[in-house]
Amino acid sequence: MNHRMMNMYHTDVHEAFYGIVSALSVHQLAAQGEMLYLATRIEQENVINHTDEEGFTPLMWAAAHGQIAVVEFLLQNGADPQLLGKGRESALSLACSKGYTDIVKMLLDCGVDVNEYDWEGSYEGPKGPQVQGCSGTWGEYSSPTNL
């Protein structure tokens, strides 16, 4: 392939990739760690706390998929870590269920209440399911300094 054809090929591939990525929802972008496209969409469309059909926000998707850089970006740009999905899931419970302790710590440092909700939406006190979901990875939660 000559240089001109190579440039045309590269441009076509880039445009095709951009078309595919731009068709993804903000939730898919967050889950896949597509920071550049996610940041652009959030800036253009103000969808940082937009929920999908299950009530999940981009922050919940990023937390559930271990996308720590995306979680940090979303929190710094105003994502609400207290929001709950339709099944009462939170970014914290999703990160706990997968063992993403760095994300758990980040959310706790943002003031998310570990004791507020369980999977059924009722208060369980200090030994609620969210704490137990993470206990196998880093021990029982008592304060952010123990992480």
Tell me the C-alpha to C-alpha distance, in Å, between residue 46 and each of 38, 90, 110, 116.
11, 21, 21, 28
* 8 pLDDT tier (thresholds 50, 70, 90): low
| Residue owning tokens 């710094």 | 76
Domains along the chain with CATH numbers: 3-146 (1.25.40.20)
pLDDT at 23: 66
Cβ atoms of residues 105 and 143 within 8 Å: no
Helix, strand, coil percentages in the chain from 3-state DSSP, rounded to 5: 60, 0, 40
Q: At residue 129, does pLDDT exceed 50? A: no
* Residue 124 pLDDT exceeds 90: no
pLDDT at 77: 93
Beta carbons within 8 Å of 133's beta carbon, 6+ residues apart:
93, 96, 97
Taking only the tens place, the pLDDT of each residue in 86-109 is 988 999 999 999 999 999 999 999
Residue 138 has pLDDT above 50, yes or no: no
- pTM for this prediction: 0.69
Structural element, H or E, at residue 5? helix 3-22
Instruction: Read off the pLDDT of residues 41-69 as tens digits, 9 standing for 90 and up.
Output: 999 998 999 999 999 999 999 999 999 99
